[in-house]
Structure 1
Amino acid sequence: MNAFDSPFVVPVAGCVMILGLGVAGIYSEIRNKELRSQERIAMLQRGVPLADIERMMAQTVDEEKKVRDPLRSLANARRTALILLACGVGLGVFGLLLYEILQIRPVLVVAATGIINLCIGVGFLIDYNMQKRELSRFGMEVDSEASL
């Protein structure tokens, strides 16, 4: 009997993949910290004062945690909503056309998956409108380019 004929291959492969991604993320973070500490040691060996090293490291952390531009966030929400809505409509139409061609009822599941994208897209549109209202409440003008 071939090991790949088992019905458990897909779930086991999925679990192994998720576990592998977790381990890879942890390893990446450990390696990142190791490289930062090696960088600090090299700076100390070159004679850079400890206060300067700490200030440089704090600046890199601050740059990683920068506050994002609210108008960019607004544009990203709008773009994401439009993409998800288009994908939902596309999947729905594709599923319905496939059903019409094949006349196999379970194919309608493809059309139903489009509803998931549509609903998430509607959620992003609601988020977009809420962000726009919030920005106008704080006195930030939203250009006509940023409106839907």
Structure 2
Amino acid sequence: MRDSDADIAIDVLNKLIDQELKAASAGMRDGNRILEECASTRYHAYTFARDEIRKALADAVEERDARNPFQCQRDELVTQDMHTCDLCGRWCPSPVYRVCLCYADQSRVASDVCADCMWRLGFRPVGTVPLEAYRRYERWVSEHPTGRRG
């Protein structure tokens, strides 16, 4: 189910919840116990369905993010920039990746690739080095200049 489909389903359930709440209130006000009970039962059923849809969507997002190492992880700080993915054309939040796609003598550089495309195309995350270790390496390189490496 796409996000827009889920949003439509939740909006419809919210409208039904409002209608049933009004019907239950009218039944209570008019003394019509049967209308009040039926509307109250439907109200609770719709509320339960809406909450289950929301919970399922949240679980699906967490499951997708757990499998995709390119998605930002929980509590990871990222910018809120929006980019257009060069491969799928969808709007995507940061982080985006820069890749070079090569085949035979043809190549293309994609500067904004979303995490979903990185996962779909089978890229593997590169091992990261802690910033402090990288700074130590840079210091070591600057302290030990050599004319030739290898």
If the length of structure 1 is used for normalisation, what is the TM-score? 0.39
Whose relative contact order is higher, 1 or 2, with alpha carbons under 8 Å and at least 6 apart? 1
Structure with larger Rg: 2
More strand by share: 2
If the length of structure 2 is used for normalisation, what is the TM-score? 0.39
